[in-house]
Amino acid sequence: MSKILDDFLNINLNELKEKGLYNEIDILEGGNGPEINIAGRTYINLSSNNYLGLSTDERLVKADKDATSKYGVGAGAVRTINGTMEIHRELEERIAKFKGTESAIAFQSGFNCNMGAISAVMTKNDAILSDELNHASIIDGCRLSGAKIIVVKHQDMEDLRKKAMEAKDSGLYKKIMYISDGVFSMDGDVANITEIAKICNELDLISYIDDAHGSGVMGNGAGTVKHFNEEDNIDFQMGTLSKAVGVVGGYVAGSKNLIDWLKVRARPFLFSTSLTPGSAAACLESIKIMEESTDLHDKLWENGNYLKKELKDLGFDIGKSETPITPVIIGEENLTQKFSKRLFEEGVYAKSIVFPTVPLNKGRVRNMPTASHTREMLDEAIRVYKLVGKELEII
């Protein structure tokens, strides 16, 4: 290794560790369910995005196996050559129906969606209004497009209107987009889709909602846009197939013209091999389960509301979450890491989230109860939270 690289790595890794910003990666021994096994010990798992518990569901496992037997383990090519199989077409048709749009396109990940879809439509001649707490993949997708990025105060519709009008009145931009998460993953608050749609329609802004944490959770599963009945008024509905859906991949749903354009201009779609057939089949099965019953959705919300109430009653700061996402906001990074470590030692896996995922001095433990957690699991986690919270004088 070159000396200059070695020096750079040593200095910066040590600095991250000193500031409590270095993240240790744990290895799971088995599946990612309501309980997980690490180094021979079982933990109550409150850090997964497997909202509905479907990633280990036997119905999805069977669908994956059957499709793999029929099509093989890989698609063998990019979608535009001969990597599009019947199963991919079926998945996209099902997503469009589920999301209430004319068409849909599936990508290899949610990150790829934002990298590909934003830059396929927006250019250096355009401007993007972006909520200040948007996900990193949105930020990177905006940067890749070359468009002027105008940061909008979080969930501030007056600031959105003001900055949108300034951008339009400047005459500098051919197109202007507003982009926001549907559910903000670190705080659990929900975008004001109705007001967003209203402002975008009034000012002729392109509207883009990243519903990675809303799909399967909001709108009886169909997402945040569906929750507000604004399917006809939001141009891009983007989401993942890896969280509530439980598999891997991402999608964009919208008009037929939009999806046709993304199929010829979105670079991750053009230059990366398709979703595996097994993954596509498992995604289809997951959406089918969500369409047929809201039982898992309802259980998720029941567990989320229970955990939030109990932690709040203990005196923890859970922010302003409107969804099952339950942050426990600690603040200082080293204390946040210590709190998470003590929970771990007591048998609760709830990872610390610190800068750059959240702002400095806004460190937190992000708890994600799922549809698979039992009341007994949640009660044990609450007991441990009380123990550790008092020990570290957080409550």
The one catalytic residue among 185, 207, 274, 352: 185
45: helix, strand or coil: strand
Collapse the DSSP code of 226 into the 3-class scheme (helix H, G, I; strand E, B; otherwise coil) and give the result.
Answer: helix
**Which of 135, 243, 297, 373 is an active site residue?**
243
| Choice among 88, 163, 213, 226 that is catalytic | 213
| Residue range 64-101, pLDDT digits in tens | 999 999 999 999 999 999 999 999 999 999 999 999 99
Closest CA to 210 of 91, 286, 130, 282: 130
- The confidence score (pLDDT) of residue 276 equals 97
Place of tokens 């923890």: 316
pLDDT (0 to 100) of residue 1? 87
62 in active site: no
Rounded-to-integer distance, Cα 314 and Cα 340, Å: 17
| Domains of the chain, start order | 12-45+294-391 (3.90.1150.10), 58-292 (3.40.640.10)
Whether residue 22 has pLDDT greater than 90 = no
The three-state DSSP-derived secondary structure of 310-366 is HHHHHCCCCCCCCCCCEEEEEECHHHHHHHHHHHHHCCEECCEECCCCCCCCCEEEE
Around Cβ 81, how many Cβ atoms within 10 Å? Answer: 12
Q: What is the dihedral of CA 60, 64, 66, 72, to 10 degrees?
A: 180
Please say whether the beta carbons of 19 and 333 come within 8 A.
yes
154 in catalytic set: no
Q: Which two tokens stand for residue 311?
A: 């932690």
Q: Check residue 78 and report its DSSP letter.
A: B
Q: How much is the pLDDT for 357?
A: 84
Backbone dihedral angles phi then psi of residue 73, each to the nearest 5 degrees: -80, -20
- What's the token pair of residue 108? 């290899």
Gap between the Cα atoms of 332 and 330, Å rounded: 6
pLDDT of residue 288: 97
Report how far Cα 286 is from the mean position of its chain's Cα atoms.
Answer: 17
* Least confidently predicted of 212-216, 267-271, 353-357: 353-357
What average pLDDT is seen over the chain?
Answer: 96
- H helix runs in 152-209, sequence order: 157-170, 193-203
3-class DSSP state of 257: helix
CA distances from 32 to 44, 47, 57, 226 (A): 11, 10, 11, 28
Percent of the chain with pLDDT over 70: 100
Q: Would the pLDDT of 336 be above 90?
A: yes
CA 366, 367, 373 angle in degrees (round to 5)? Answer: 160
For the chain, the residue count is 395
**pLDDT exceeds 90 at position 54:** yes
In this predicted structure, what is the pLDDT of residue 23? 80
**One-letter identity of residue 57:** D
The maximal CA–CA distance of the chain, rounded, in angstroms, is 62
Taking residues 235-246, report their average pLDDT.
97
What is the structure's pLDDT at 24?
83
The answer to whether the bond into 369 is cis (omega within 30° of 0) is no
Measure Cα distances from 289 to 169, 285, 305, 307 in Å: 48, 6, 23, 25
Active site residue 243: yes
Over 90: is that where the pLDDT of 355 sits? Answer: no
Cα(10)–Cα(157) distance, rounded to whole angstroms? 44
